[in-house]
Amino acid sequence: MQALVIALLIQIMVVEYLIKSRGLLSPYVILVPELLSAVAMLVVLVRIMGGARIAFDWRYGIFLAALLSTIVFGYIVQDVPDGAMLAGARSYLKFLPFFLLPAVHRFTPRQLHTQLMLLLVLALAQTPLALYQRFVEFAGAMHTGDPVKGTLTTSSGLSMLMVTAIAGAVVFYLRGRLRLTALVVLCAWLFLPTTINETKATVLLLPVALLAPVMLMRKTRLLPKLVPILGVGFLAGTAFVIAYNTLIKNGEYGGPLGEFFTNTDKIGYYLYTGAANTDQPYVGRFDSIEIALEYTSQDPLKLAFGYGAGNVSESFLPEFAGRYSDYFLRFGVGQTQVTTFLWEVGVAGLLAYLFLFYLVTRDSLTLARSNDPAAHLGQLWTVAMIIMSFGLLYKSVFSMNDFGYLFWYFSGVVASRAALLRQSVPKRVAQAPPSWRLAAGEPRPPLKAGAHSLLFSAPQR
């Protein structure tokens, strides 16, 4: 199973870039992640039929049932072409096997560490590639940082990945696995791509990456480590502002960062242009949500279950395009993940995913606060969940394989380990009879095995 996961990580982080941006491999290789998903699903089914212990909270079953019911009911009540139906089911279900895999296969702490180290190496490799893209490959397009995306799908996705990697470095530093010098070097290296691709969201995400891990530490004496982290944040923020303001001078639009955040008109235009009520051609993020609600609310069934998964999506093959695929660009269906959910699976589907986010965040916190060997993963994934929650309103994150597979697989790992932690805690300790019954001479019942140590052991910190 380790080889399966390693192959997936390399495919989504390296091979897809070689296919899409370099044309070095056959376009059909792009389907490898889905073939790996099929293998993972086969493993899950074989393990379940073989009587394997499933390490999952039963509430995830509610999410899966709600999601599948929403998709199926949307197909029933909406006029969805067969091709779009297959494409929609593929886009929503292709990640699930890797989410379920950790529930039936226990990855060892060493294996999880190897996976995280591979991701760190791949994240470190983004920096020289980002520099090459900005100043060599796309040097003629200095008016925008959008082409600076490393091996990922978008430049904003690259920034989200690098900020999450910085959070991982902070976690290892707080847990004594990384020296301060190494932390500073890693943060500087990982942060560099976000300073040259002009992703304004970095201003909001960087403090989360630096401070959220501190808030999740169990020890109280964190001041000696908090001060250097604040120093790193100050230096990184200063470098970002200087780099942004220097590069934006070449831009056709925009201005200094301070002007952007202090000018409410510019912030408003960046998020909301009024496209739903005016002739403004550019659909902002909040515009896309407003338009989605405006159209779906005209029919209670569409509001509840959307137009059908895949029915508002484009496709390279006409037979797989949705009946309303012309809405995709016109109404900004892919502007945010919330917008996509509202159009395709409605409010019911959106609520199902929000419930999933709640469950994974809860399990991340449980793992982070435990003594499990993978507690550092829970701490990191709590930060990742904050960033992914932000991503729901920032990008259509599940339309990208790099983010989709990473989210679902590691969420499955965290959920399974949290479930095992809960199952290992004794549910009940033998209770002594009331003092008045002991005074009457009634003998004290013997304690269950292990209860004595539980009752009298020192509290865990």
Phi and psi at 138, nearest 5°, equal -115, 35
∠ CA 387-397-316 to the nearest 5 degrees?
Answer: 170
Please tell me the pTM assigned to this model: 0.86
C-alpha angle 141/146/152, rounded to 5°?
A: 125
Identify the H or E element spanning 232.
Answer: helix 223-247
Q: Retrieve residue 81's tokens.
A: 């072409």
Helix (H, G, I), strand (E, B) or coil at 283: coil
Provide CB contacts within 8 A for 417, sequence distance 6+: 55, 102, 363, 367, 372, 374, 377, 378
The pLDDT of residue 195 is 87
Cα 63 from Cα 415, distance rounded (Å): 13
CB 415 within 8 A of CB 360: yes
Whether residue 380 contacts residue 18, with contact meaning beta carbons closer than 8 Å, is answered with no
Helix (H) or strand (E) holding 271: helix 264-271
Place of tokens 């989504």: 12
141-173 confidence digits (pLDDT tens): 666 778 889 999 888 899 999 999 999 999 999
Which single residue is written with the structure tokens 């994974």?
360
> What's the confidence (pLDDT) of residue 407?
96
Neighbours of 10 (CB within 10 A): 14
Q: Are 229 and 210 in contact (CB under 8 A)?
A: yes
Contact indicator for 306, 353 with CB cutoff of 8 Å: no
Written as one string, the DSSP assignment of 109-176 is: HHHHHHHHHHHHHHHHTHHHHHHHIIIIITGGGTT-STT--TTSS-HHHHHHHHHHHHHHHHHHHHTT
23, exposed or middle or buried, with CB in 10 Å at 0-12, 13-18, 19+?
A: exposed
> Structure tokens of 127?
């920096």
Look at residue 269 in the predicted model and tell me its pLDDT. Answer: 56
The separation between CA 359 and the C-alpha centre of its own chain, rounded to angstroms, equals: 13
Nearest to 161 by CA among 124, 196, 131, 204: 124
CB 155 within 8 A of CB 402: no
Structure tokens at 243: 């780099």
Tell me what pLDDT residue 255 has.
Answer: 61
Looking at residue 223, its pLDDT comes to 76
What pLDDT sits at residue 244? 77
One digit per residue, pLDDT tens: the chain, 461 residues?
A: 899 999 999 999 999 999 988 888 888 888 899 999 999 999 999 999 988 888 889 999 999 999 999 999 999 988 888 899 999 999 999 999 999 999 999 999 999 999 999 999 999 999 999 999 988 888 876 667 788 899 998 888 999 999 999 999 999 999 888 999 999 999 999 999 988 887 888 888 999 999 999 888 866 567 778 888 999 888 888 888 888 777 776 655 556 666 666 655 556 556 666 666 666 667 778 889 999 999 999 999 999 999 999 999 888 777 888 889 888 888 889 889 999 999 999 999 999 999 999 999 999 999 999 889 999 999 999 999 999 999 999 889 998 999 999 999 999 999 999 999 988 876 544 454 554 444 444 455 554 444 433 333 333 33
Contact by Cβ (8 Å): 289, 336: yes
Q: Are 393 and 336 in contact (CB under 8 A)?
A: yes
Nearest partner of 126 among 247, 249, 291, 13, judged by Cα:
13
The angle formed by the CA atoms of residues 211, 217 and 218, to the nearest 5 degrees, is 155
**Which residues, 6 or more positions from 371, have their beta carbon under 8 angstroms from its beta carbon?**
460
